[in-house]
Amino acid sequence: MRATIPQILEMARAGEKLPMLTAYDYPTARLLDGAGIPLILVGDSLGQVVLGYPSTLPVSMNEMITHASAVVRGTEQALVIGDMPFMSYQTSEADGLRNAGRFLKEAGCQAIKLEGGRQVAPLVHQLVGYGIPVMGHIGLTPQSIHQLGGNRLQGRTAEQARELLADARALEAAGAFSVVLELVPAQVSRLISEELEIPTIGIGAGPYCDGQVLVINDLLGMTPGFNPKFLKRYAELGEVIQGAVKSYAEEVRSGAFPDREHSHWMSADEEALLLDS
Ligand code: KIV
């Protein structure tokens, strides 16, 4: 049975930390689901991680729907959250409602995530009113990368931290079921987590959040050269994959693959008939 929003909230209320991961495709989603990850985010990090874009900005709604559908097909237990891409909700509340609805209607997601604080609170209120669960996202909001001037720690000063707290409160008051805190000092995420009833999910936000999220390709060591302080790699799959591919290429070149064991053979009788004719 798939996790529900009330169950996720109950887990957080009971003090259970929530592990969340991104996924973008069917096979990865199946593995995460089988490992018992309760929250899977089809992040717009899809842009850099899977599609090779320089940022999240070029990602389209149709691309998100294609990948979110695959993740939903690969899961039975996890709650799947579709990430609203750049300009899918900033243009108007009507666009926001229509595009959020697509995640539930076309992809089969159970919730959506969008970036922003007080500014998006009216839209969050509308979405929740129409039965679309919303996860907020404040701190470093990658869709505002040009405005922010890079992947910089947010909420460094007391004044900036108070702004973030006001954003978090506005999202909660608007009905968001949870909020991502990205790249903020641990003291700030601790304060916000203590102040909010809804669970906070941190990335680069220290240990005090109610849950944590990482990009699956980063965690698995498949994004060479990407080494932010907050990232812990739990495997080096990039090296494993390259090693396997190099061995395959060598064996094809040398003729060692395919060997007898990995080939299909006709019966000796049929072979004799074939060669006689
Ligand atoms: O797009 C994404 O993967 C995200 C997470 C990093 C929170 O927004």
pLDDT in tens, 146-184: 999 999 999 999 999 999 999 999 999 999 999 999 999
pLDDT of residue 89: 98
The enclosing domain of 27 has a CATH number of 3.20.20.60
Same domain, 175 and 262: no
How many domains does the chain fold into? Answer: 2
Buried/exposed code over 85-109 (b: 16+ C-beta within 10 A; e: otherwise):
bbebbbeeeebbbebbebbbebbbb
Render pLDDT for 197-253 as a digit per residue (tens, 0 to 9): 999 999 999 999 999 999 999 999 999 999 999 999 999 999 999 999 999 999 999
pLDDT of residue 277: 73
Which atom of ligand 1 has the smallest separation from the CA of 56?
1
What is the crossing angle of helices 93-102 and 61-73, to 10°?
Answer: 30
Query: What DSSP designation does 81 have?
Result: E
pTM of the complete model: 0.96
Same domain, 10 and 99: yes
Same domain, 151 and 201: yes
**Residue where the block lists tokens 């079921």:** 177
Burial of 131 (0-12, 13-18, 19+ CB in 10 A): exposed
- Asked if residues 80 and 88 have their Cβ atoms less than 8 Å apart, the reply is no
Same domain, 92 and 14: yes
215 lines ligand 1 (CB under 6 A): yes
Buried/exposed code over 55-64 (b: 16+ C-beta within 10 A; e: otherwise):
ebbebebebb
Same domain, 66 and 124: yes
Same domain, 124 and 226: yes
Same domain, 98 and 150: yes
203 lines ligand 1 (CB under 6 A): yes
Ligand 1 mutation target, pool 45, 178, 201, most atoms within 8 A of CB = 45
Same domain, 148 and 263: no
Find the domain containing 253 and state its range.
240-276
